[in-house]
Amino acid sequence: MEIQYPNNLEKNALDKFAKKQKSSIGSIKKLSYLHPKLNEKKFDLFRMYKMLKHYGVKNYFTKSEGIIDFIIAGWPKTGSTSLHNYLIQHPNLEGPWTKELHFFSYGYNKGIDYYHSNFRFKKNREILHFESSINYILHPSSMKRINQYNPEMKIIICLRNPIDLVYSYYTQMKKSEEIQSFEDAIKDNDDRKKLHLARLENNIYNYVVQPIMHPYLYFAQYSTHLKNAFKEIPQERFFFVDSNELKNNTQKTVDGVFEFLGLERKEINIKFLNSHEYKEKMLSETRQKLKEYFTPFNEELEKMLSRKFNWE
């Protein structure tokens, strides 16, 4: 099977990535990132096993009817996992069996029945159902699909200083698939963005594997992606959570989300997830460059939302 590389940037990255793996696993992983649909059948079998274990045979094969009321739609590395786990503590909120479904972005061809099979809808309409897929805000078709599915859908967005988001996302990818230094990765942002947009156009991504070479800077341009989102869903149906407030004033911040959803206040068990110290700190000159890069996007965001974030 001859591998067709989109460009030399990805070819070199995948070659280096494969060499980091052990034995034949490297070649298999390289294939899976270039041709992610090879993994779908294997993942579907694993998913069926996990759902049978979670719901039981009777519930798994019973069609579940209902609708999703709201979604945590972005961004990665902003506290969305912690927020998801705070919300499911409320007796009137019900999530899916697994947190991130990626349905409206990379799994849309699976159909609504597939999407609903991830939930067990309660007949009591006081129960609100939700899910959290942090790539929805980054996918150009997600918001239109979400609005077509439920024209009253509410959207919750977590926001963090984009400099910290970029570095946190990079360090996560560095553990598995990122092969460039942080400075080289952000320097190649324009090429990575072109590659990312070409993959979207050619429907390369799926809900199992998203190929390497992420355009970190492009992902963190909040105003760019929100402008696209507001074209499909009115801004008043969005609620924005500052990740610093979520971490430092957790109960008050979550109370604001409950109020937005029309729910009574609920005392929550606070535990901020996926927080860690970096082995290597960002260079001060790199941080200054990123501050200059993101300043116009942050100013545009604050104007759009009529809100100051005081990010340094």
Mean pLDDT for the chain overall: 86
* pLDDT grade for 35, boundaries at 50, 70 and 90: low
CB atoms within 10 A of CB 297: 16
Q: What are phi and psi of 72, to 5 degrees?
A: -85, 110
Which stretch of 66-80, 115-129, 168-182, 228-242 has the lowest confidence by average pLDDT?
115-129
**What does the pLDDT look like over 109-165, one tens digit per residue?**
889 988 998 888 877 778 999 999 999 999 999 999 999 999 999 999 999 999 999
**What does the pLDDT look like over 256-300, one tens digit per residue?**
999 999 999 999 998 766 566 667 889 999 999 999 999 999 999
Which stretch of 185-194, 244-253, 277-286 has the lowest confidence by average pLDDT?
277-286
Which comes out higher in pLDDT, residue 99 or 169? Answer: 169
What does the block give as tokens for 81?
A: 């996992």
Can you list the domains of the chain with their CATH numbers?
8-305 (3.40.50.300)
What does the block give as tokens for 3?
A: 């591998």
**What does the pLDDT look like over 74-112, one tens digit per residue?**
999 999 999 999 999 999 999 988 888 999 999 998 899
Distance in angstroms (rounded) separating the CA atoms of residues 1 and 153: 44
Q: Which residue has the tokens 């007949």?
A: 123
Question: Model pTM?
Answer: 0.85
> Mutual orientation of helices 25-34 and 8-20 as an angle, nearest 10°?
150
Distance in angstroms (rounded) separating the CA atoms of residues 269 and 81: 14
Q: How far is CA 106 from CA 64, 115, 158, in A?
A: 22, 12, 21
Q: Which residue has the tokens 């068990």?
A: 269
pLDDT at 254 over 80: yes
